[in-house]
Every structure is written in C-alpha cells, then in structure tokens.
Structure 1
C-alpha cells in the first residue's frame, strides 16, 4: 500500500514577523489543524515545538523559503483539502504573502505506507521534477502518476 507525499516551497515576501505576513501567520495553525482533521490526512512536517514547517531551517539556503510537506492516504483526500477547503483561500491569495517571481515549486510522489518524507527527500524530489519533468518518481497534478506508475493526464482543480 502506498500513500501520497507532497512538498511545496515558495519564497515569502517578508519575514513571518513582518506585519505584511500577519494574516498568513494568524491562519497557519488553524489551516494546519484543519488539514490534520481532514479525511485521508496522515502526517505533516513540524518543528520540535509542533509549529508549521515554515519555521524549520530551509535546506534551500534561503531563510525566506516556506516549506510544507505532508502525507495523505490518497490523491482525492489531498485534492479535497487543497481545492475544497479553507486552504483554497490561501492558494488563491498567495500573491499577498509570496514572491511569485521567485522559486515556487510543488511536487508529489508515492511512498510506502508507514514511511515519512524528510526535508532532504523533498528537496531531491523537487530538483528531480525541475530537471526531468513529471515522472513516476516526482509529479504534479498536471502530470500525475498513480501508485503503479501509470500516467493520468491531469488532476488539476
């Protein structure tokens, strides 16, 4: 059995302590809690204090990089959270908090049930997608591969 892992990174417009980031920061915990309570949620990366991964040291050599990694039972559960919940507000309004001209990457991959991704693994998957395009090892909603490695045309919202 496999679970769907996802990682995304984007560059913040300002430090999390900046007033410009207040709305984003105020909703980090509620949105993450909602994710954890969502059908199909398995795991998300947190720091030692249980705060969102955005507070972890970035493996991308840039303190302004936001990092999010999570694991879901299946793509439908993840897609419902991303596009069919409060999370969609933050996706639609990302230009308020993120530098859209800079690095912004999203990747998914299948992992054996019970295995959890690491920051280094997420970085490798993002780099593989950037270098090679979608493949069974690293893909997106637009070039989606099922757990058996078969290409599914597109799963965009």
Structure 2
C-alpha cells in the first residue's frame, strides 16, 4: 500500500497577483524537491495548463481552491518532506497569503500500489474526514492509521503536526 495525500488552500488574492510571488515563485523548486525526496512516488500535475500546473488544478466544482495531491511510500516520508525540508519554510513564510481554512484542509489515505487517485476520490476522502473525523479511510498526521486500518504511533512527534 502507498499513502495518498490531498492538501487544499485558498489564496487571499489571485495566484498571478504580485503579492503571491514569494509563494508562486518557489513552487517549481519545492515540486522538484518533492520529486527527488526519498519516499516520493507521484504528484498531481497538469501539463496542459497555461501556467504552472501546481497553480491551475482545482477541486471538482470549486474554481478558487488550490489543490496539491501526491502519493508517498509512508506516513513518515511525507511528514519528513512537509515539516523537515524547505517546504516547511515556504509554507510558514506565506501563511498571510492564504485564507485560514475553517474546515479540515489536509487528508491522508491508503491506496493500492500503483493506484493514482483522481481528484473526485481525494475530495470524497476530505469530505469523509470533515464529516467523521480521523478514521482508517481518511486521517491526518495527528491521528494516523496503518494500511490495515489500525491506529498507529508514528515515529515523529504528534506535537509537530499542524
């Protein structure tokens, strides 16, 4: 089994606004970092987009919310990328450029090896987490589950989880 993740965000201004440049100007570098990070398997892109794919993807039925989705080999590998690499600084440095999401905006779930989840599947997992809280089908770093559906104690401190 492999770990899928969906993270959504909404900018306070349009992505092409100069205010967003400290974020948008670093997307390619952060995506390249993810691509070469141990445990990385796949990330959602849109090669047909007029702008960087990472900035053009949206949830089904929602044209304002940015989407980041990827697949990793473990909870620990994804956690390490999110919190222990340059990715963490980019997100911390740009918090003021994003709307404070009133609902859960990040979800993890297990997929069969080689399965590339469509956005509709990811949205359903996020909705499940929002409706039911962490469970074996939709969970968070703070309350992760094994691929077998059992709660796990990760090797990283839960206090580090956003």
Q: TM-score, normalized by length of structure 1?
A: 0.90
User: Do the aligned partners of 2:104 and 2:129 also contact (CA within 8 Å) in 1?
Assistant: no
User: Do the aligned partners of 1:54 and 1:65 also contact (CA within 8 Å) in 2?
Assistant: no
- Pairing 1:4-153 to 2, within 5 Å after superposition: 4-49=3-48, 51-61=52-62, 63-102=63-102, 105-152=105-152
- Tell me the C-alpha RMSD between the 2 structures: 1.8
How far does residue 153 in structure 1 lie from its aligned partner after superposition? 5.0
Structure with the higher strand share, 1 or 2: 1
CA distance 1:104–1:18, shift in 2 (3 Å): farther
Equivalent pairs counted in the alignment come to 155
CA distance 1:86–1:12, shift in 2 (3 Å): same
Give the distance between the partners of 2:96 and 2:104, measured in 1 at CA: 14
CA distance 1:104–1:53, shift in 2 (3 Å): farther
How far does residue 102 in structure 1 lie from its aligned partner after superposition? 4.7
How far does residue 10 in structure 1 lie from its aligned partner after superposition? 1.4
- Where structure 1 has 5 or more consecutive residues not aligned to the other structure, the ranges are none
- Where structure 2 has 5 or more consecutive residues not aligned to the other structure, the ranges are none
How far does residue 24 in structure 1 lie from its aligned partner after superposition? 0.6
How far does residue 57 in structure 1 lie from its aligned partner after superposition? 3.8
Q: TM-score, normalized by length of structure 2?
A: 0.88
How far does residue 11 in structure 1 lie from its aligned partner after superposition? 1.1
User: Do the aligned partners of 1:11 and 1:104 also contact (CA within 8 Å) in 2?
Assistant: no
